[in-house]
Amino acid sequence: MRRRVARKLSVLAVSAAVVSVGAAAPPAAQSSPAEKVPVAVGYGGAVSSVDADASAAGIEVLKKGGNAVDAAVATAAALGVTEPYSAGIGGGGYFVYYDAKSRTVQTIDGRETAPLSADSDLFVENGAAIPFAEAVSSGLSVGTPGTPVTWQKALDKWGSRGLGTLLKPAERLARDGFVVDDTFRAQTAANETRFRYFPDTAKLFLPNGALPVVGSTFKNPDLARTYAELAKKGVGALYRGDIAQDIVDTVNKPPVDPGSGWNARPGDLTAKDLAAYRVKSQAPTKTSYRGFGVYSMAPSSSGGTTVGEALNILESTDLSKASEARYLHRYIEASRIAFADRGRWVGDPAFEDVPTKELLSQRYADSRECLIKDDAVLTSPVAPGDPRNPAACDASGTAAPTTYEGDSTTHLTAADKWGNVVAYTLTIEQTGGSGITVPGRGFILNNELTDFSFTPASPAVHDPNLPGPGKRPRSSMSPTIVLDQHNKPVVALGSPGGATIITTVLQTLTGFLDRGLPLVDAIAAPRASQRNQTTTELEPGLWNSPLKAQLEAIGHGFRQNPEIGATAGVQRLPGGKWLAAAETVRRGGGSAMVVHPAP
């Protein structure tokens, strides 16, 4: 099996620049910083993200001799400008790094944390859960940000440039502005009502009281000044200095328009919470699949364990020879089962006894795989198994439904000429985060604490994702790096999309590794997402396909989702060459760039 897949990947490497989705020739990716091209091939390093200005910031750093970590930080800072509803210094994320010299993968958990005063009733009033829509746009939803210290920790461990230098492209972009596109306007429009609750947010993102015009230049001078302050004083300014105090004041007394009638419940974030925040350097999850090593994030993210378990379940099926319908059926059912186990077992390991090793064991996956039948569909919600005491085909436990997660977030992937690779997913939770902008600072605060279960998902089963003091809410972010048998990178990728991140990464990996799709085609393929729910979400490309009827004939139920995820990735090619790949259509298309399109 390993030799077959290796041969397939070598063919992909030779032909990767020939893309069936009609992408422009790779050199065009460098012709204009604002031009989006979904695939680029060349030397000297590569960056892939959803935004051309952000990818260009990373390429600028690589051209000046910076490494993949430097480029990732510069790209992330620029995404905080151009993707302010998805990421920024008011949020958190997960950073996965491959070191070419040691051929090892390491990670940083920069997830936001609940205030030290939080308990399991954080979102409960008068004995009932606060309505989700009310919790989102409130101080209650805001966790201590982890993004700035994630950047600093990554640079201290693996970077070659100072934070001040790497913030300059983003500071310039915030000061001089970027061109508003359809996606930015649409995301603003979707948030217009709640943005108007908060005068500082409305002033910044609804210039002159109206939606930003496509083609206009959007500037954020407050964020430019904030970046300049971080460059001068270091990230400590956000955790202990003036910026920290501004965050605390904003969370505890959200600056709401009194005429809006909006009940912006106050949070209880304190200066002590910010000063006490730490990222966690930890080992990645590892799954062996078709002879490759698949590395991702361990808890507090559920991404690595859930993608890994699903891959282990699929290991016994030759997906390369399966029909399209059987491939999708098996992928959907493996996702369903893995999500059942995720809901029961995964939470913040500082508070919960998470059986990470057991969830990723092939023995456990085999005990779950036998639930799958080719002529029938499992009924959701599927009950979790017991990874510490696997019982073959056991479905006797008590099931718990999958809780809602916001569908925003953003992802970037970077590689350098030395062979180092970064897969980094960062977020402020749902599109627009809490909707609350820190006055005078130019960034939106996260609503990450709504990723907790507001009340137990099932009264009969322990819920590992209830709030707690200083606890990290469970995430689905799945930045992933795949290594070959020599511990050299094959591909690295990730996606936004809330809980659909897991299924997006899983489907893209199997499309690339098993189905033989070029990376950009694996990214562009129409998606399905099953998360232990009654129906599976389908994008229009599958909804309108004959495959839908074939799968319905064996019992699948579906609902339509216009867009699932927005993947960005890089692939190592022979001879020091890199391929960067991004979305062709989703979120207005992504931006793949390389340093030198030719040697």
Short-list 146, 122, 73, CA closest to 412: 73
C-alpha–C-alpha distance, residues 477 and 300, integer Å = 10
502, amino acid identity: I
Specify which residues 295 forms β-bridges with: 286, 481
Give residue for tokens 């979904």. Answer: 38
Tell me the C-alpha to C-alpha distance, in Å, between residue 166 and each of 62, 152, 159, 425, 580: 11, 11, 10, 18, 21
The upper half-sphere exposure of residue 286, i.e. CA atoms within 13 Å in the direction of its Cβ, equals: 13
Q: Which distant-in-sequence residues (6+ apart) come within 8 Å of 77 by Cβ?
A: 57, 151, 166, 167, 169, 170, 227
DSSP 586: G
Catalytic residue among 409, 425, 508, 510: 409
DSSP conformation class of 101: T
111 annotated ligand binder: yes
Q: Is residue 475 a known part of a binding site?
A: yes
Tell whether residue 451 is among the known ligand binding residues: yes
* Residues in Cβ contact with 178 at an 8 Å cutoff, skipping those fewer than 6 apart: 34, 53, 81, 82, 217, 218
- Measured between alpha carbons, how far is 390 from 392 in angstroms, rounded to an integer? 6
Among positive and negative, which fits the CA dihedral 352, 314, 525, 24?
positive
Our CA angle for 265, 271, 273, nearest 5°, is 80
User: Binding residue per annotation — 318?
Assistant: no
Q: Could you confirm whether 536 is annotated as catalytic?
A: no
> Binding site for L-glutamate: what residues are annotated?
111, 451, 475-476, 498
> Binding site: what residues are annotated?
111, 451, 475-476, 498
**Residues annotated as part of the active site:** 409
